[in-house]
Amino acid sequence: MADARRTIKRIHVDQHLIRKDIGAPIAERQPVLTVQNRGRSTKARSVRIEGPSEIVYGKKPLSCGARVWIETREIVVADGERIV
């Protein structure tokens, strides 16, 4: 069950990095996923959400310009790093 004291995490895909990485060898590609939490941004190649989440579209874009993102209050694991 979600803990109301946990902060909201927002996860989105950086489209600019995806475009920049086109044609680059896999080993040289940048992490394109961003987890935003408490004013901190964590870049990752893989993200796992340990509980319920919601995909959001139609609200005001995030400060980074993202228009679609995932929101959750659950623990997020980004490239092995737990974000509570």
24: which 2 tokens? 């680059």
pTM: 0.87
Amino acid at 53: S
Position 55 scores a pLDDT of 97
Q: How many CB atoms lie within 10 A of CB 71?
A: 17
pLDDT at 63: 87
Domain ranges of the chain: 9-83
For 70, the enclosing helix (H) or strand (E) is strand 68-72
Q: How far apart are CA 7 and CA 37, in angstroms?
A: 7
Q: How confident is the model at residue 7 (pLDDT cuts 50, 70, 90)?
A: very high
Q: Round the average pLDDT of the chain to a whole number and report it.
A: 92
Q: Mind listing the pLDDT tens digit for each residue in 36-70? A: 999 999 999 999 999 999 999 988 999 888 999 99
Instruction: Give me the long-range contacts of 64-67 (CB less than 8 A, separation at least 24).
Output: 64/12, 64/14, 64/34, 64/36, 66/10, 66/12, 66/13
